[in-house]
Amino acid sequence: MPRKSIWLVPALVLGLLFVLWPWIGGSLYLVNLLTGAVIWGIFAVSYDLVLGWTGEISFGHALWFGVGIYGVGLLVQATHWDTLVALLVVAVLTAPVSFVIHLVSLRLRGAYFAMITFAIAEFAYLLVQNATALTGGTNGLTGVMLSSYLLSPNVLYAVPATVLVIAVVSLRAVSARRVGRIVHAVRDNPTRAALFGHSEVLVKGLTLAASSALAAVAGGLYLAYQGMAFPDAMGSNTSFTVLLMVVIGGADSIWGPAIAGIALYLLENSLSATTAHWSLWLGVVYVLVVRFLPLGLGGLRPERLWPWHGRTGILQEGLPVAADHHKGGRD
């Protein structure tokens, strides 16, 4: 096995234990709570493709989460298909729709891109909220007949857990290959990448399409978890929450946003159950993480935790700086 692939073995073992955890041990309450956390972990990984892979900021990523929720719910109601089949169909259809929308929105950059994604998502949010006959409006979409096997808490947990493991392992593998290097090259220097024939709009559009499809998968699983859907799930608060999860997890990491999505969901539920001021304490946690972990959880390195670890490497990295200073570099 190549040295670069050695990480696959422990990752797959940990992933298997992660998926089978309910059968190994755990109360029904913990299984139910962790199911929601894992789904948010998937959603956070999908946003990492936006922020970490394309370098863009979207204020409307909840749109695709909502597409998964309402798309699966309405499709199951209309066709009585198996829930996971409907989920797969919605995810596959989401990708080209997202690609077309982003071909237009990627003509803008920076804050303008963020604002147009926000505007599109808000339009969809108001549409769902006011289409009472189809979506139930503010009363929510209820009465969706989910597949019977999803009524088992263990199975309902195992499905999103499997999706999360596959997503993290797959993206880790892709990032180390030519496709991942092209995406990162376009993110870092689109002008230079264009000289090698890589269109910024095309590469980012395909990446955002994959991100939207994964977010739709998270949304469909969230419908199965909640048993109903409400418009707030695709509102701006959802977009800002998942953005914070990725920032705290580390946009340059793949596993970081997944861990942050799970941890912050658990923390929010724990704090809200114990104090009325849970949002204040959650804000304190955000500030502390951003202050002391500017690169997020994914930026943790041994030398950051233990200053004496890798001291030689740190000193060596500092030598060129000192040399430049003696040559008259800026202080």
Residue 5 pLDDT exceeds 90: no
- Report yes or no: 125 and 138 within 8 Å, Cβ to Cβ: no
pLDDT value of position 281: 80
Mean pLDDT of the region 5-10 = 64
Residue 304 pLDDT exceeds 60: no
pLDDT value of position 137: 87
Write the pLDDT tens digit of every residue in 22-51: 787 768 888 999 999 999 999 999 999 999
Within 13 Å of residue 117, how many CA atoms lie on the same side as its CB?
29
Mean pLDDT of the region 249-253 = 85
Question: For residue 229, what pLDDT band results from cuts at 50, 70 and 90?
Answer: confident
pLDDT value of position 299: 67
Residue 86 pLDDT exceeds 90: yes
pLDDT value of position 3: 53
**Amino acid at site 286:** Y
Residue 205 pLDDT exceeds 50: yes
Domain boundaries, the chain: 3-235, 303-331
Say which residues have a Cβ less than 8 Å from residue 107's Cβ, sequence separation at least 6. Answer: 201
Of 241-250, 258-267, 285-294, the poorest mean pLDDT is in 285-294
Residue 328 pLDDT exceeds 60: no
Candidate ranges 15-19, 141-145, 324-328; pick with highest mean pLDDT: 141-145
Instruction: At 141, give phi and psi (nearest 5°).
Output: -95, 115
pLDDT value of position 329: 44
- What's the CA gap between 325 and 331, in Å, rounded? 7
pLDDT value of position 2: 52
- Report yes or no: 152 and 145 within 8 Å, Cβ to Cβ: no
The end-to-end CA distance of the chain, in Å, is 47
Q: What is the pTM of this model?
A: 0.85
More confident residue, 189 or 331: 189
Residue with tokens 């950051």: 304
More confident residue, 74 or 9: 74
Mean pLDDT of the region 233-255 = 89
Enumerate the β-bridge partners of residue 229: 141
- What's the CA gap between 235 and 238, in Å, rounded? 6
**Amino acid at site 59:** F
Mean pLDDT of the region 108-129 = 91
Question: For residue 315, what pLDDT band results from cuts at 50, 70 and 90?
Answer: very low
For residue 156, give both structure tokens.
Answer: 């309902």
Mean pLDDT, the chain, rounded, equals: 84
Question: For residue 331, what pLDDT band results from cuts at 50, 70 and 90?
Answer: very low
